[in-house]
Chain A
Amino acid sequence: MQEWKPQMPYPEQFPVAMAYVPWQRNCNMYENLDEAFKTGTIFPELNKPFLGRCVKG
């Protein structure tokens, strides 16, 4: 089976003056689908609630 790796996993390999988005690391899901449905994502890793001026870290 083919091994799938993000093309540039390490920050030191990133050229300057470009913009990057880190890869989603895993597919851990909320166990409760109700919670996921209301939250707007099934991945806790992607849960970034809008707080008006900044997002939770």
Chain B
Amino acid sequence: MWNYEKRLQYPVKITQTNPEIAQVIISQYGGPDGELAASMRYLAQRYTMPYNTVTGVLTDIGTEELAHFEMICAIVYQLTRNLTPEEIKESGFDKYYVDHTLALWPQAAGGIPFNACEFQSKGDVITDLMEDMAADATS
């Protein structure tokens, strides 16, 4: 089970909105190398990990990744807060806005929705750890 701490792992205080940058940064939330995929990868792989110590690593990193996507969401949220209809249209944010308004939805920068094909969980120690390293080296 989990407990929530009511703070961000690192402060996010953005004073200037920027929907163009938000559309790129959202990939770090729901994209192929995003924090959501990272978290789900570690937390899915841990059940069949045969070493307690390594299961500990997967559990604790998977937990930390949850705090990471919370920070990414905070960034996107603050970059798009209170946009006007003109700003939404001019920035190209309208294609996201039409389906999700200013809500957070896990997708890649190109609009591809998050899905479990972004990561692997094979039940083989070496395979799973190699997958983790390959993924983590990119983000």
Contacts and interface: CB of A to CB of B under 8 A. Distances in A.
Interface string A22-46: 0000000000000001000000000
A8 interface: no
Interface in B112-139: 126, 130, 133
A37 B133 CA distance: 23
Interface range for A: under 10
Contacts of A19: 130
B133 A18 contact: no
Contacts of A37: 10
Contacts, number: 4
Contacts of A1: none
Contacts of B126: 18
Tell me which of A18, A19, A37 has the highest count of chain B C-beta atoms within 10 A of its own C-beta: A19
A51 interface: no
Contacts of A18: 126
Contacts of B133: 21
A18 B126 CA distance: 9
A21 B137 CA distance: 13
B18 to A, nearest CB: 22
Interface of B: 10, 126, 130, 133
The 4 A-B residue pairs with the shortest CB-CB distance in the complex, in nearest-first order: A19-B130, A21-B133, A18-B126, A37-B10
4 contacts: A18-B126, A19-B130, A21-B133, A37-B10
